[in-house]
Each structure stands twice: as C-alpha cells, then as structure tokens.
Structure 1
Amino acid sequence: MFKVFISTCLLSLAAINSIAHASEDFTQYKTQSEAKGKKDRNALLEDAQNLLADPTLTHTQRTYVLHRSALHLVRTNQFQKAARRLDEFAAHLAQFPDTNFLGKYHWVAGDLAILLGNNTDAQRHFEQAISQFEQSGDLRMKSHAHRMLANVLSQKQDYFPALAHVFQAKDTANKINNAHLFSAALSTEARVYRDFHQLDKSLDVLNQQLEFQLGEPDISLAHISSTYYSLARIYEKLSDHHAAIEALNKSYDIDKKLDDKNYMGLTQLHIAKLYIELEDLTAARTAIDQASSLFSLVNNEKNQARAQAVQGQIALADGDYVKAIQLITLGLDKLNAQDNEKLYQAFQVKLGMALAYEQPSEAIELLSTLLDTVNEEDNLTVLQSLAVAHKSLNDFEQALYYQERAFATKEHINQQAITTRLEAKKLNSEIGLKRLEVNELQAGLAQQQQDTKTRTVVLAAAIIVLINFILLFYLYHLKRRRVMEKEAELLNQSLSLKQQLLADVSHELRTPLTVLKLNIEALEYNLTEDPKTTYKVLQRRLDMLNTLIADIYELAQADTNNLRLEFELCQAKALFDDLTIAIAPIIDSSDLEVIYINQLPEKLQVECDISRLNQVFNNLARNSVHYTDQPGQVKITVSQQQQTVVCTFEDSAPGVSSDALEKLFERLYRCDKSRSRDLGGSGLGLSICEKIIELHKGHIAAMHSELGGVVIQFTLPIKP
C-alpha cells in the first residue's frame, strides 16, 4: 500500500516539474518580448512556436503568445504566416474571451491590413480596437489605435476625421502622461498634414515634435532618429534634397550611436536615392555601397535586395543598361511579391526602363503587365519606357501612341498637383474656421457649465445638510435599537449554547462512567471470568474520557482566545509531504487504497503551526479510516488556487446525508453515535480542526465525494 503511495507522489512530482518548466519558459519569453530596445524577433518566433506546441500552457499564456507572435510576424514582413496566426488568435479568443486582447487582435490585424494595402479592412479593425480598449480601460493602446486609424484615414484622403483621431490620440496620451505616445501622435499629425500637402504645417509639427523630444529625458534616441527621418521626407516633398540629406545624416548619426545597422543601412539607401535625383552618382554609389555592407552584416536579405535594385537604378542613370538589368534582376529575385507588392512593382518598373534600351521585346512583355496597375508616377515611367521600347523595334506608330499617353498622364499629374494645392489651401481655411467655431463653442460651454455648477453646488449643499441631519437622527435611534436587540439575541444564544453544551457533555460522560461503574462492581464482587479483559476495557474507557476532556479543554481555550499557535515560515510542498508521511501508520491498511497528490510549486511558502496542522491531519486521517468501509479508497490532494493552498481528504462509501453534512463541524455531533464511541471518537475532532484552520486564517468545509463518501477540504493562505 505504501509503495502505491510513493509511486503516486513521484508521478505527481513529474507532472508538476513539467508544468513548472513550461511556466519558466513562458516567463522568459514574456520578459524578452517586452524588453526595450532591439529584439531578436526570429528567435522569439521560434520560442513562441515551441510554447504553442506545449499542452501544459494555460489559456491565458496562450493568448499572450498568440498576440506577441502575430505582432512579430508582421514586424518581420511574414504576412501570410501573420494572417494564419491571427486566425488562430481569433479562434482562441472566441473560446476564451478577453476584451483587452480582442482589442490587441484588431490592432495587429489593422497593422497587417495597412502593409497589404487594404485600408478598408484596416479602418474597420482599428475602429473595433478603439471600442475594445475603451471597454477595458487600456488608455495606452487606445491612443495607439486612434493614431493608427488617423494614418489609415489620411491615406483614404479623409483628412478631417484623421486629424480628429490624432487629437484624440494626443489627448489620451496626455491623460496618462505618456511622452512616447504624445510624440508618436505628433509624428502622425505631421504625416496627415504632409498627405494633404500642408507641408509647412507638417514641418511646424515635426519641429515641435523634435523640440518636445529633445526636452524629454524619457524619449529614446530611436524616436528622435525617426523624427529626423520624417523631416527628410518633407524636405524631399519640397524638392529640397540637400536639406533632406542633412536630416538623414543626423538620423544616421543617432542610429550609429544605437548600433542599429539595419536602420543605418536604410538611411544610406534613402540618401543614395536622393543623390540619384541630384545626379551626383559618385555620392550615390558611396551611400549605396555603405548600405549594402551594413545589410550584409545583419544578414538582411530583403534589404540587400533593395540595395542591389538601387545600385541598378544608379547604373540606369549612368546609361549602363546591361549592368542595371543584372543588378535589378538580382534584387527582384530576392524579393517576394506577396510580401510587399508595391516595392516589387516599383523595381519591375525600373527593370522595364533598363530593358527598353537593351531588350525591347522583354521590356514590352513586362511593362504591359504593369500598365495602369501602378501609381500614376510609375505609370508615367511605364508609358515612357514602352515608347522607347517600341521605338527601338522601329514600331513608331506604337511608340507615338505611348508617347502621347505619357504626355497626357504628365499633364494630368501636373493638373492634379495644382488641384491638390488648391484643395489643401481650402482645407487649411476650413480647419481655421472649424477651430474658431470649436473655440467659441468651448468658451460658451465653459461659461454655461460654470453658472450651472455654481447653482447646483449651492442647492446641493443645502439639500445635503438637511438630508444628513435627518439621516443622523434616524440612524442614531435605529442603531440604538439594533444594539439592544443584538445584545438580547446574543445573551439568549449564549444561554442556549451553554445549556446545550452542558447537556451534551453530561450525556457524553454518563455512558463511559456507567460502563466504568459496572465493570468496577463486577471486579469488586468477582462477577467477571476474565479480570484482565475487564481491566483493558476500563483502560480504554479511561482513555476515551481523557480524550474527551482534552478536546473540551482545547475548545474552551479557543473560545476564550487562549489557544496560542507557534507560527513559522515553511516550504509548503515539503510540509505537506512530511504531514502525509507522519499519518502513514494511521492510513496504512491492506484493505485501504491511499492516493496522495501534491501539485504545489517548490518555492511556495506558508506560515503555520506545524504541530497544530499535524493534529488536523491526524483527526482527518482517523475519520477517513474509521468511517470508510473496507476495501475502500482514501485520496489526499494538495494544490494551489490563486493565493491559497487547498488540501482535501476524500474517502469512499459510506457517505452521509446532506442534512448531516451541514452538522459535521458541530460539537459532539455524530452521524452514528454508537459506532463513534466504539471507535474512540469524542465527536469534537472536526470542531477542533475548524478552530485550528480559522486561527491560520483559512477555511474548512465538508462536501459529498465522487468516491461515495465525504470530502473535507481546508485552505491556508500563501505567504507573499
């Protein structure tokens, strides 16, 4: 029997070790995921895959891993895998709902939709995210969602709603005093102004952002670098390429301090493109060679492909079409059209330009698939390249056709630019008027609120004073009456309990004393045939009396708060193992199967009186053994539930009725009194257990057992 007990313990230990190992892996993953600065996202994705394959991962931990891994897949441009992971995430949330993580699901899905060019889906997801974060009270993520929605609306040319969401993002960031969020909202505001060609306003906002960042010690250098990069984009829009290069060099210097080689490479790649526009091909080659070297150091194949394509653009600008074709083709081979379709098409356009001079037939085949599928500026390049290709093939009619279309497209772009500038000025005027209207409304509303507030305060004060006086008067009399009723009730209850206790104790003492008296008389008058047996009966009855008197004394001490416990800090798992081993002589029976399961972590601690807990274990063990038909089963389980240790003693048939179950902790109560006396019970064991557990600030209760008997369950608080 004891071998079964030991085997069960070992199996329990193995299961607990497995759970603990999974928990440790998750904690490490979470720490690395939330660490500030650069992250090895590919390594984190491998860790996430291993965690998701672990069946011991809790549903809460799985929610976290699904969210973080989906985000990392988006950040590493693995868009198809990200979409599949988001589907898993959505299915998991449907089974285990979580308002805040549902908001995060929509946030990541919206981010992915932006990268895939699906602004309608992105808008829907970010609107859902804002709603979920509003419900969960996560203001940080709510500000993020407003900012991202503003980006989407700006791309859809809904500039007024975009600015409204920017202002909400800034306001939310201010509410929680988050400098990073406020800075990010300023960046988005600048982008919105840039999108509807309010470049002067965009510059003002970016300079305001830069001033704010330089004055905030908590803002990271990476954010300041990003602001310089955004300034460069505005200068580029204004065709001030030298100013753009200067801003990019400042961004590069900061990235160099951070040793962020990937961003350093991207900055040099952008500088190279600007030098191509300035027709300074020597400087462009220097910049792109540096970018290519940096991308090689970090082993970023996609950015290496971009660098090769830009090297091809330099060769194209230099008239070396063969080299341009070779380099751009190498870059395209390393890119995945599905990951970034716009970038892929842009490089295809450049390849078509080079092919038009060297391989016109291949150029026509490639460019025909791109015609009218790319943006207007690239479409102009496609038309011009088709004209060159047809001219190289002496197909002057088609060459003239594409040249005329190119001229018409260029005229349309110029006209659209003029219209956009006019609309931008109109929008600027409308924004000014709306701001004036808002200011006037706010001023009027503030005055109205102040007047209403004053009147309300005066009236409320008068009403509160009157109500308080009435309530105090009423409560005084009500409290006095209730105190008197309570005192009378407690007095009557105490008298009843005292009478009941005296009656129960006298009843309990009468039976063993009667037996003692009869046996003593039998010895006195030589009426017994076996005096030794009679002496043993007398000894057993005296032991029962001693047990009863000792139990009554302990309960009396507990009732008068004189039962003192010697608390000490213990390792919970080892403590319960020792307590179970101590009761082995009681529960070790050939006809009784004992199962012991200890699921507590190794480092968990409780503060307790070990001797008193040993007393509880002894009482519960004796009850389980004495009141279980043999052959039978006794199951002892110890586990952690939130901030408590839960221990259960569960036995097989016979059970007790529901009425009897509620009375098991009453003093001197027995379901079968004659049987209890035969077994030496005082009827006070469970009452003493209840008192000891209460002094440990725990709880004890009795329930029906699935094994057919009774479950006694008690809890102990965990030491923080």
Structure 2
Amino acid sequence: MKDRRSVLHFAGGVLMVIGFLLLCWTGMYMVTEAVYGRLGWEPHGLLAFQINAVLGFILFGVVISIIGPLLRPNEHKLFTELIEVMRRISRGDFQVDLAPMLDQIGRHERERHPFAQLVTTIDDMAANLKEMEELRQEFISNVSHEIGSPLTSIMGFAKALKSGALDPEERERYLDIIETECIRLSKLSDNLMKLAVLDSAKSSVHPGTYRLDKQLISLILACEPQWEAKDIEMNLEPGEVVITADEDLMSQVWLNLLHNAIKFAPHGGRINVTVSREGGYAAVRVADNGPGITGEDQPRIFERFYKADKSRTRSGGGSGLGLSIAHKIVEMHGGTISVASRPGAGAVFTVLLPTAAPGEG
C-alpha cells in the first residue's frame, strides 16, 4: 500500500510538470506568433518549433525559480535548523529535539517525505550517541571510584609507616593491607584489559572440542584451597558433555562463577555444580546457599561495576566486572547466562551453551 502511494505521488508530480511545461510552450507559441506577425516574417516550421521549444524551457525555468520558494517556504528554514543541529551533535551536544521539525511537515507526508526520513534518522543517531556518552561517563566514574578507593588506603597506610611510631604488629598489619589493596588494583587492571580485548573487533573465539565436565572438575580442584578454607561442602554432578568452544575463554566463565559462589556462600555452606545436556545445549548450573540477590538487582547483575547492595560490597574485594566478563564470553559463544535467586535462599547461575561451535551444523 505504501509503495502504491509513492508511485501515485511520483506519477502525479510528473504529470504536473509535463502539464506546466506544455502550458509554457503554448504561451510562448502565442507570443512568437504575435512577434512573427508584427515583423512580417514566417520562419521555417522546424526553426519555429526549435525557437518555441527553447523559449518555452526558459519560461518554465524562470517561473519555477520564482514560484518554487513560495510553494515550499519552510524548506530552507528546515535545512538551516538541521545543519545547526548537526553542528551541535559534532561538538558533543546530544541534547537535541528534532520533533518540532517534523511538526512542520504534514502528518500524511511524513512517511514519504525525504526530509522527514532524514530528520528521523538523525534523531535516532543522536539518541544512540547520547546513550553511548552516558555509558562512557558512567564507566569512567566507576573506574575512577574503583581505583581511587584502594589508592587512598595505600597512601594513608604508607604515610603511617613513614612516621615510624608503630609497633611491629601494627606495621605488619598495615603492610598486609597495602599488599591486599595492590592485589585488588592488579585484578581490576587485568579485568579491564580482558573487557577491552573482548570488546575489540580483534577479539575472536578459537573453538575446540573437549569434555566440559572434565574442565569443570579440574577448575573446582584448583579452587579447593578457597572452598576448604571456608569449610564449604562442594558437590559436583558431572554429566558427560562434549562441547565445541574456546576452552581458555570458558575457563574464565567457570572460575568467575565458582569464585562468586565461594565468596558469598557462608562458612560451612554448600555449593552445587551440575553439568548436563539439554537438547542441543550444554547446561551448567552453579548454586550456592548464600544471601541471594533481590529481584530488583537481578536484571542488572551482569552490568559492569554493578554490585547488589549488602551481599556484594567492596569489602568482598570484587570490582563488579567478573559477571560482565562471563556474560560477554558466553554471548560470544552464542549461549546465555542467567540467574535465579531470592534473598536468603542463595543464587543459581545457569549457563546454556550450544554443543556445536557457532556456524557449525
């Protein structure tokens, strides 16, 4: 229906131009005939036709140049306003409102009017740029905060150590705190680098076929000192599952989920890890009996630097990037990661991965 209206609109415009051109030729024919009569000269038929045609085109152009601005008086103003808006966007000002421009175009013409389509496209572009700028500013603010907190601690305790008025026990404690904050900064730097690599166009997945259950058994054993230190009961139900994925990247996903579960499980708590096959997907579930995550926090738990209050505080040592990295890697493999939880009842993180690499049958 839309295409039919466009064709009819185009055909109507062509007919109007042809009709106006014929009117100009008719007018010039009458004028030239009057001139020939006064001069007493009758040119050859072909020459008379050529003179009439040329003069008719000239008349057509002159009339169009005169009445054109009168027929569309707002077009020049609209283009001037649009150019100014684009200049503002180029200077980094994305707080633009193009709706008033569209109001100047008839509602029935907006779908087919090229200017309306241009305004809509620029409006969408400005909205996307504004969203990206807000994310960039939020990211810089979060990074500054995460870096500033440990640096403040390091500076404070370093000054205390320089004073020399500390007993050996206090000195050792301060040095331990400085070491802990340095490790925290190092982890933050590593995680930021991982995200930068994963976000870059150069980032790629190098899939290989391997046993997922064996990978998880190996990683759980590597984390044994951490979960044994909290006397956590670690349960593993490893179904035999073969997947095609980047083993190194996926190990980061499992380590992040395991470290999270260990961190939030209470002393003497339990963690259950299950590996199974569900249709064409490998399913991995990591469940803990920690404080859980509120329904309000769950939709944002995979955002960068986001930490659910109380259960995810800076005292836990995290930067809020681990789950973001896991989400990004799983997404790159064509899978999904989700969380199910309620306060006081722990959390269950579920990862679903296609058993074949992206692009394979």
Question: Taking structure 1 as reference, are residues 655 and 571 closer, same or farther at Cα in structure 2, changes over 3 Å only?
Answer: closer
* 1:615 shift after superposition: 1.4
Is 1:508 aligned with 2:119?
Answer: no
Asked whether the 8 Å contact 2:6–2:112 carries over to 1, the reply is no
Asked whether the 8 Å contact 1:702–1:711 carries over to 2, the reply is yes
Is 1:679 aligned with 2:285?
Answer: no
Is 1:645 aligned with 2:285?
Answer: no
Q: Secondary structure at the match of 2:159?
A: helix
Q: Which residue of 1 aligns with 2:128?
A: 490
**How far apart are the structure 2 equivalents of 1:552 and 1:464?**
49
Instruction: Pick from 137, 146, 149 the counterpart of residue 499 of structure 1.
Output: 137
* 1:652 shift after superposition: 0.7
Q: Which residue of 2 aligns with 1:716?
A: 353
Aligned 1:321-336 pairs, distance under 5 A = none
Q: For 1:675-717, what per-residue CA distance to the aligned partner results, in whole angstroms no more than 9, with x for missing partners? A: 6433321111111111111111111111116981111111111
Aligned 1:164-563 pairs, distance under 5 A = 466-467=4-5, 469=7, 474=111, 477=114, 480-530=118-168, 531-563=171-203
Asked whether the 8 Å contact 2:292–2:311 carries over to 1, the reply is no
Q: Larger % of helix: which?
A: 1
Counterpart amino acid of residue 143 in structure 2: V
**How far apart are the structure 1 equivalents of 2:345 and 2:352?**
22
* TM-score normalised by L of structure 2: 0.63
Asked whether the 8 Å contact 1:705–1:711 carries over to 2, the reply is no
Question: Taking structure 1 as reference, are residues 529 and 475 closer, same or farther at Cα in structure 2, changes over 3 Å only?
Answer: farther
Counterpart amino acid of residue 156 in structure 2: L
Question: Taking structure 1 as reference, are residues 556 and 464 closer, same or farther at Cα in structure 2, changes over 3 Å only?
Answer: closer
Q: For 1:322-376, what per-residue CA distance to the aligned partner results, in whole angstroms no more than 9, with x for missing partners? A: xxxxxxxxxxxxxxxxxxxxxxxxxxxxxxxxxxxxxxxxxxxxxxxxxxxxxxx
Asked whether the 8 Å contact 1:651–1:705 carries over to 2, the reply is no
**How far apart are the structure 2 equivalents of 1:479 and 1:678?**
52
* 1:504 shift after superposition: 1.2
**How far apart are the structure 2 equivalents of 1:485 and 1:574?**
51
**How far apart are the structure 1 equivalents of 2:314 and 2:204?**
29
Q: Which residue of 1 aligns with 2:239?
A: 599
Aligned 1:681-720 pairs, distance under 5 A = 681-704=318-341, 708-719=345-356, 720=361
Q: Which residue of 1 aligns with 2:214?
A: 574
Counterpart amino acid of residue 4 in structure 2: L
Q: For 1:213-265, what per-residue CA distance to the aligned partner results, in whole angstroms no more than 9, with x for missing partners? A: xxxxxxxxxxxxxxxxxxxxxxxxxxxxxxxxxxxxxxxxxxxxxxxxxxxxx
Percent identical = 25
Q: For 1:584-609, what per-residue CA distance to the aligned partner results, in whole angstroms no more than 9, with x for missing partners? A: 34333563222211234xxx532212
Asked whether the 8 Å contact 2:295–2:342 carries over to 1, the reply is no
Asked whether the 8 Å contact 2:290–2:346 carries over to 1, the reply is yes
Q: For 1:115-145, what per-residue CA distance to the aligned partner results, in whole angstroms no more than 9, with x for missing partners? A: xxxxxxxxxxxxxxxxxxxxxxxxxxxxxxx
Asked whether the 8 Å contact 1:652–1:710 carries over to 2, the reply is yes
**How far apart are the structure 2 equivalents of 1:490 and 1:646?**
35
* 1:552 shift after superposition: 1.5
Asked whether the 8 Å contact 2:230–2:267 carries over to 1, the reply is no
Aligned residues: 255
**How far apart are the structure 1 equivalents of 2:275 and 2:235?**
11
RMSD across aligned positions (CA):
2.9
Counterpart amino acid of residue 249 in structure 2: R
Q: Which residue of 1 aligns with 2:91?
A: none
Counterpart amino acid of residue 466 in structure 1: R
Question: Taking structure 1 as reference, are residues 567 and 583 closer, same or farther at Cα in structure 2, changes over 3 Å only?
Answer: farther
Q: For 1:390-440, what per-residue CA distance to the aligned partner results, in whole angstroms no more than 9, with x for missing partners? A: xxxxxxxxxxxxxxxxxxxxxxxxxxxxxxxxxxxxxxxxxxxxxxxxxxx
Aligned 1:57-68 pairs, distance under 5 A = none
Q: For 1:80-116, what per-residue CA distance to the aligned partner results, in whole angstroms no more than 9, with x for missing partners? A: xxxxxxxxxxxxxxxxxxxxxxxxxxxxxxxxxxxxx
Q: Secondary structure at the match of 1:536?
A: helix
* 1:470 shift after superposition: 6.7
Q: Secondary structure at the match of 1:588?
A: helix
Q: Secondary structure at the match of 1:708?
A: coil
Question: Taking structure 1 as reference, are residues 641 and 535 closer, same or farther at Cα in structure 2, changes over 3 Å only?
Answer: same
Bigger relative contact order, structure 1 or 2, given CA contacts below 8 A and separation 6+? 2
Asked whether the 8 Å contact 2:271–2:286 carries over to 1, the reply is yes
Question: Taking structure 1 as reference, are residues 493 and 464 closer, same or farther at Cα in structure 2, changes over 3 Å only?
Answer: closer
**How far apart are the structure 1 equivalents of 2:354 and 2:263?**
29
Q: Larger % of strand: which?
A: 2
Question: Taking structure 1 as reference, are residues 523 and 707 closer, same or farther at Cα in structure 2, changes over 3 Å only?
Answer: closer
Counterpart amino acid of residue 183 in structure 2: D
**How far apart are the structure 2 equivalents of 1:483 and 1:508?**
38
* 1:575 shift after superposition: 3.5
Instruction: Pick from 295, 298, 307 the counterpart of residue 661 of structure 1.
Output: 298
Q: Secondary structure at the match of 1:631?
A: coil
**How far apart are the structure 2 equivalents of 1:582 and 1:610?**
16
* 1:630 shift after superposition: 2.2
**How far apart are the structure 1 equivalents of 2:245 and 2:343?**
30
Is 1:630 aligned with 2:267?
Answer: yes
* 1:663 shift after superposition: 1.7
Question: Taking structure 1 as reference, are residues 469 and 628 closer, same or farther at Cα in structure 2, changes over 3 Å only?
Answer: farther
Higher gyration radius (CA) = 1
Counterpart amino acid of residue 615 in structure 1: Q
* 1:488 shift after superposition: 0.8
**How far apart are the structure 2 equivalents of 1:529 and 1:675?**
34
Counterpart amino acid of residue 228 in structure 2: D
**How far apart are the structure 1 equivalents of 2:219 and 2:229?**
18
* 1:522 shift after superposition: 0.8
Question: Taking structure 1 as reference, are residues 594 and 475 closer, same or farther at Cα in structure 2, changes over 3 Å only?
Answer: farther
* 1:512 shift after superposition: 0.7
Asked whether the 8 Å contact 1:608–1:696 carries over to 2, the reply is yes
* TM-score normalised by L of structure 1: 0.33
Asked whether the 8 Å contact 1:570–1:606 carries over to 2, the reply is yes
**How far apart are the structure 2 equivalents of 1:634 and 1:577?**
14
Q: Which residue of 2 aligns with 1:583?
A: 223
Question: Taking structure 1 as reference, are residues 487 and 564 closer, same or farther at Cα in structure 2, changes over 3 Å only?
Answer: same
Counterpart amino acid of residue 262 in structure 2: V
Counterpart amino acid of residue 685 in structure 1: G
**How far apart are the structure 2 equivalents of 1:521 and 1:572?**
49
Counterpart amino acid of residue 592 in structure 1: I
Q: Which residue of 1 aligns with 2:104?
A: none
**How far apart are the structure 2 equivalents of 1:650 and 1:715?**
15
Question: Taking structure 1 as reference, are residues 675 and 519 closer, same or farther at Cα in structure 2, changes over 3 Å only?
Answer: farther
Asked whether the 8 Å contact 1:571–1:606 carries over to 2, the reply is yes
